Structure 1
């Protein structure tokens, strides 16, 4: 049985990365960081009064920073009645905060290890289920994903390459890729990861309907192993 893609986890436009940077920057404020650390250590949601008392802050200060953390999607807001009663006279639900399920990662240069990990895991699982060798499954999965990325949202080639961290540049009619989003994996498992990357980018070209370039392996120091050459 084929394993499907969880595309929402790899479709990360520049705006999403900028939001991650903003969220991390929000934690640079010492009081806000202390509040965040306090909330995530608690077994349940935390109210403003509880957080203020625990850290020796004014309630207004705690509320301001907790709301800022919620605005950055670092905390989720929930409403619960702490009285244990329901119905008329039970009072208004309290505004509480808990750790968000959002995962934040910012790497410079841009790396996409989760994308590679998911492709590799899907290939291993489908290979085990069907008996097909892992390498051809990985090539197919990578090309399918690349096709989806290229076809999504009416993008153009340079935009897609920039979005996924390849840092494209022009060189004698070709597009060279100044960054490998899978750098550490490609360094340690060169043949497997570069082959996956090649088929991912072939899929991108196919999804875009881009006939002006063809993806080829062209390893060079300090660059991605794939180069987009002018089509013959």
Structure 2
């Protein structure tokens, strides 16, 4: 399945901007089980076709799951067609502007704690390891360094000397409260991304400054 992007989340949130469609979604969230188009139409006083339109839009955005079942309890010839039923999807939707990825930071921190408990490795060392592994994975899935940085919301800009500054920190709030931990995580993550996708000799270094990410990516032959 294709990975969900920030644009996908924006589209899903936009689908809920319509008050009628949001009412349909809220009704399904509170239902005891999967519901049909007739259930929604009857409960919300909608024309069945309108209910179907809203339900299918929510399903396309992966906010609802769809299943089919014969409600009569019968099977075989003459039992009628299965009814299309809708239920809430597991998917969570959030949009943050500027783009943030607190979920990624949480996953890395949790993985580091688990690794530390399992192996006896200090948490700080475990965090460096899991951040580097995540960076390698991100780099492996990207066609270029710039693509990887854009995907995770870093907003890269290349300066005259060829170095790349990152105009957005995806972990901004955490970095304000836990600077050493989060900036260290960020450096290990981006060092691995750079090593996987950047030109040979590029390096990621800590270079904090107000209004941007703490990491700068230096071109080859720069210290």
Length-normalised TM-score, structure 2: 0.93
Contact persistence 1:215–1:228 (CA under 8 A): yes
Further displaced range: 16-25 or 184-193: 16-25
Matched, 1:46 2:35: yes
Contact persistence 2:9–2:94 (CA under 8 A): yes
Question: For residues 210 and 149 of structure 1, what CA distance do their matches in structure 2 show?
Answer: 16
The match for 2:89 is 100
Question: For residues 27 and 71 of structure 1, what CA distance do their matches in structure 2 show?
Answer: 12
The match for 2:98 is 109
Question: For residues 141 and 62 of structure 2, what CA distance do their matches in structure 1 show?
Answer: 26
Question: For residues 126 and 115 of structure 1, what CA distance do their matches in structure 2 show?
Answer: 16
Calculate the aligned-residue CA RMSD, in Å. 1.6
Contact persistence 1:45–1:96 (CA under 8 A): yes
Matched, 1:161 2:152: no
Deviation at 1:12, TM superposition (A): 5.1
Matched, 1:219 2:201: no
SS in 1 for 2:213: coil
Question: For residues 3 and 62 of structure 2, what CA distance do their matches in structure 1 show?
Answer: 16
Question: For residues 141 and 19 of structure 2, what CA distance do their matches in structure 1 show?
Answer: 40
The match for 2:7 is 18
Contact persistence 1:12–1:163 (CA under 8 A): no
Question: For residues 135 and 12 of structure 1, what CA distance do their matches in structure 2 show?
Answer: 29
Contact persistence 1:175–1:229 (CA under 8 A): yes
Matched, 1:149 2:142: no
C-alpha deviations, 1:28-65, integer Å up to 9, x for none? 11111111111111010111111111011111111111
Question: For residues 83 and 189 of structure 1, what CA distance do their matches in structure 2 show?
Answer: 58
The match for 1:57 is 46
> When the two structures are aligned, how many residues end up with a matched partner?
220
The match for 2:71 is 82
The one of 4, 18, 34 equivalent to 2:23 is 34
Matched, 1:231 2:220: yes
Matched, 1:91 2:74: no
The match for 2:174 is 185
Higher relative contact order structure (alpha carbons within 8 Å, sequence separation ≥ 6): 1
SS in 2 for 1:60: helix
Contact persistence 2:199–2:220 (CA under 8 A): no
Length-normalised TM-score, structure 1: 0.90
